[in-house]
Chains A and B, each alone.
Chain A
Amino acid sequence: DAGVTQSPTHLIKTRGQQVTLRCSPKSGHDTVSWYQQALGQGPQFIFQYYEEEERQRGNFPDRFSGHQFPNYSSELNVNALLLGDSALYLCASSVRDRGLGNTIYFGEGSWLTVV
């Protein structure tokens, strides 16, 4: 049973560029959430996708956008990269309607460095 998979694992971008990160949720999971973790900090919620729509959003600018595909996989796009976007981006998968029984699993993350 494959867990949550993310790609790429590491990447370096230049200020002003755009980046796309990808995530495949755990088998049987239909909800994907994205988190940003700056160095030395806890992960911060960016947004969540379910049924191919953004359902919740954290305090992140519109430069951060996403997409969910019919197979539940997801992409995170960041436009006009800033140095401060350098972070570990984590994808989490869960089952939306499980409610009281929901366990949230994370992938290994994508390390983004903006220079």
Chain B
Amino acid sequence: AQKVTQAQTEISVVEKEDVTLDCVYETRDTTYYLFWYKQPPSGELVFLIRRNSFDEQNEISGRYSWNFQKSTSSFNFTITASQVVDSAVYFCALTRGWGGTASKLTFGTGTRLQVTL
């Protein structure tokens, strides 16, 4: 069975602070994908990143960066110089990496990020 744990329920930071959202996963598959999604109050899940199990390189996209470590089964997400617009619930998710099963996501419970002025 697959499992995703986001231990941080809620984080509050002041604008321009850096913040890291933690994600720990469990899977017996050797091929899998990890995702991060952002969910604003409107409800839509906005895709942020997909990372496959064979690629442990860290990735940076603007103020966002991701640290994938298979040794600790973690896929952490850092926002540098946070902004008020970053306020949302962030979900980490896991799926198998092949065929139809690749479409079935297992989500964590989410981390609510509140960025204030």
Contacts and interface: CB of A to CB of B under 8 A. Distances in A.
Nearest to A110: B43
Given A42-B110, A104-B35, A56 B101 contact: yes
Question: What DSSP secondary structure best describes chain B's contact surface?
Answer: mixed
Contact of A56 (B42, B100, B110): B100
Q: Bin the interface of chain A by size.
A: 20 to 34
Q: Bin the interface of chain B by size.
A: 20 to 34
A44 B45 CA distance: 13
Interface string A101-115: 011111111010000
A71 interface: no
16 contacts: A40-B109, A42-B108, A42-B109, A42-B110, A45-B106, A92-B103, A96-B100, A97-B99, A99-B97, A100-B98, A102-B50, A103-B47, A103-B50, A104-B35, A104-B95, A106-B47
Interface of A: 31, 33, 35, 40-45, 48, 50, 55-56, 58, 88, 90, 92, 94, 96-100, 102-109, 111
